[in-house]
Structure 1
Amino acid sequence: MASRVVIPEQPRVGGGKQKIEQAEGRNRRVLRDIGNLATKQAVVERKPQNQITRPVTRSFGAQLLANAQAAAEKNICKKPLVESGKDLVGKDVVAAKKEALKPKDEAVVVISSDKGESCKSGRKEKKPTKAFTSILSARSKAACGVTKKPKDAVVDIDAGDSKNELAAAEYVEDMYNYYKLTEDDGRVHDYMESQREINSKMRGILVDWLIEVHRKFELTSESLYLTVNVMDRFLSLKAVPRRELQLVGISSMLIACKYEEIWAPEVSDLIAISDNAYAREQVLVMEKAILGKLEWYLTVPTPYVFLIRYIKASIPSDKEMENMSFFFGELGLTSYSVMTRYSPSVLAASAVYIARCTLGRSPVWGETLRHHTGYSEDQLMECGKVLVGLQSGMAESKLKAVWRKYSNPEMAAVAMFPPPRI
Structure 2
Amino acid sequence: SKMRAILIDWLVDVHTKFELSPEALYLTINIIDRFLAISLVSRRELQLVGISAMLMASKYEEIWPPEVNDFVCLSDRAYTHEQILIMEKTILGKLEWTLTVPTPFVFLVRFLKAASVSLPSSDLALENMAHFLSELGMMHYATLMYSPSMMAAAAVYAARCTLNKSPVWDETLTMHTGYSEEELMGCARLLVSFHSASGSGKLKGVYKKYADPQKGAVAVLPPAKNLVSSAAVGS
Question: Same fold per TM (> 0.5)?
Answer: yes
Deviation (angstroms), 1:254: 0.4
Match 1:264 to one of 58, 65, 69: 65
Matched, 1:368 2:169: no
Contact kept? 2:128, 2:215, Cα under 8 Å: yes
Distance 1:269 1:319 in 2: 32
Distance 2:31 2:136 in 1: 18
CA deviations 1:293-345 (Å, max 9, x no partner) are 0000110000001000001011234111111110001001100111x211100
Match 1:242 to one of 43, 47, 50: 43
1:280 aligned residue: 81
Matched, 1:204 2:9: no
Q: Which amino acid aligns with 1:204?
A: A
Larger radius of gyration: 1
Match 1:214 to one of 15, 19, 22: 15
Q: Which amino acid aligns with 1:408?
A: D
Q: Which amino acid aligns with 1:328?
A: L
TM-score by length of 2: 0.93
2:230 aligned residue: none
Deviation (angstroms), 1:241: 1.0
Distance 2:124 2:223 in 1: 19
1:349 aligned residue: 153
Matched, 1:381 2:182: no
1:332 aligned residue: 137
Match 1:291 to one of 92, 108, 112: 92
Q: What SS does structure 2 have at the residue aligned with 1:262?
A: coil
**1:110-259 matched pairs, under 5 angstroms:** 200-259=1-60
Q: What SS does structure 1 have at the residue aligned with 2:198?
A: coil
Distance 2:39 2:164 in 1: 44
Greater RCO structure (CA 8 Å; 6+ sep): 2
Deviation (angstroms), 1:239: 0.2
Deviation (angstroms), 1:380: 0.3
How many residue pairs get aligned? The number is 222
Q: Which amino acid aligns with 1:232?
A: D
Matched, 1:419 2:220: no
2:214 aligned residue: 410
- 4+ residue stretches of structure 1 with deviation over 4 A? none
CA deviations 1:234-264 (Å, max 9, x no partner) are 1111101111000000000000001000000
Coordinate RMSD, CA, aligned: 0.8
Distance 2:199 2:19 in 1: 26
Could you tell me which runs of 5 or more consecutive residues in structure 2 were left unpaired when the two chains were aligned: 228-235
2:198 aligned residue: 394
Contact kept? 2:199, 2:207, Cα under 8 Å: no
Q: Between Structure 1 and Structure 2, which shows a larger proportion of helix residues?
A: 2
Percent of residue pairs identical: 60
